Structure 1
Amino acid sequence: PDILNATYLLTLLQESGAPIVLYSTLGEHTHNDIATLNEIYQRIFRQNAIIGSTDSKAIEALQPLMQSHYIYTPTNKENSKDIFSARISFWIKQESYGKIAMNNSGFLHIDTAKCTLCLSCVEACNANALINNNASFELLYKASLCTDCGYCVASCAENVLNLESHTLLLEPHSFEYVSIAVDEPFRCVECNKIFATHKSISKIKNMLTPVFAGNALKLKTLECCADCKVKVMFEGAH
């Protein structure tokens, strides 16, 4: 019975359109998942979906949950978190049901003004909750996929990320990728190739301008791509 995590239990509930009665002694993590699912059902359908076998009155009053019925076929690439997100989003649509407590789930807060889009958080995220949009220089976040691991926060060199642990927002924006940081592309002053963002270059210039004070060549290299930086340095040496 301990394989019955939130995704397995939600699948049983949705595919059957019926409540679940549990007769076995379950582990702590399963009890937490049951509490989360019952809270979701209370918020959306005003009733519990999973009960214990000792609750005789609740068993006698059991009724189908046809309003919650949903058939979903996952792809081979989807993991448990992907499936849970897709299933819950079917109920949420454009409604808002507030914040609930949920293990292995978190909500990321970001100081947008200080984010330089270095994308170290994207590299650290193994759940695809954070991805980057190369076409528009955006950092995108899908909160329902967050596993609360904290790797993104630990990897952030700018210290602009903060994770609200054990949290799931039953809001439409939690189940789709939304932009949480954006910047303009920065073009090399020599070849005009995009190689960074304005915020990242601005930060580097603020750090190194006092060090390179009076050296116009070195200051120029701060605005050059890797290829042009070498060329400018060699030309200056001659």
Structure 2
Amino acid sequence: MRKSGMIISAGVSALAVAAVVGFSNGSGPTGFGVTAAMAQQSGAQQGNQGGQGDGSKGSQSGQGNQGGEGTGQGGPGPDSDSKGPQAGSPSSSGSGGGKPVWAQEGIPEVELGRLSVARSPDQVLQRAYDEALASISPEMVDFYSLSLSEMILELSTNFDNVSFIDSPLQNLALFQDALDGTSTLTSLGVTNTTDTLLATFLGVASDKTVPISPDTVLAVSTILGTPITGTAADDLAADAEAIRIAVLAGHG
């Protein structure tokens, strides 16, 4: 940023010096016009160099315009909402100026702990989802096919021998996938209800020592684009909390 400012200042100085030289040579209007054009071209080149330094600082590049009408490359255009390179991620629709849905509407004030990674950009969640599916083993298929009570028993008493996905981000990616009522795990051989899988993904993704409440469910599901409310949130919170406690008991 300092380098860009020095280049722009040099462009302005070049114009000033060129103008003074034009007058001092006594060349009159014609001579001054030639000299100013040369200075203008030089100032434009300097302004462009300054603009290339940092496209997000279009207003600073604009100082090069005063020296020679240079324009910074990558600076915000007239239609920009001036919210930086991540504006519009993960959702650019609506009237929120590129804010995601949960930022526009707000979420419950609840401690999320490592569940906060649900705010990751779409491409990060997609990569975690792909990695989770690639890691599914026959042993994991067996685990995810258990009933909720059987999962709780395995996690709390046989934790070290249970094969399951424990990455918070991967679990949340699988959670997001199942929010439409179906889970891709069923195409890999898992036989279970979507509700049980949602509870498992959320319970494992959560901090072991942070309780899961209906507000937790609402917050996370809203962040991921499909809010779960009412009795559905209550039921999912209770099941996910049981999974969390089982992980805490088994892992220690």
State TM-score, norm by structure 1: 0.25
Bigger Rg, structure 1 or 2: 2
Task: Report which of the two has the higher share of helix.
Answer: 2
State TM-score, norm by structure 2: 0.24
Task: Report which of the two has the higher share of strand.
Answer: 1
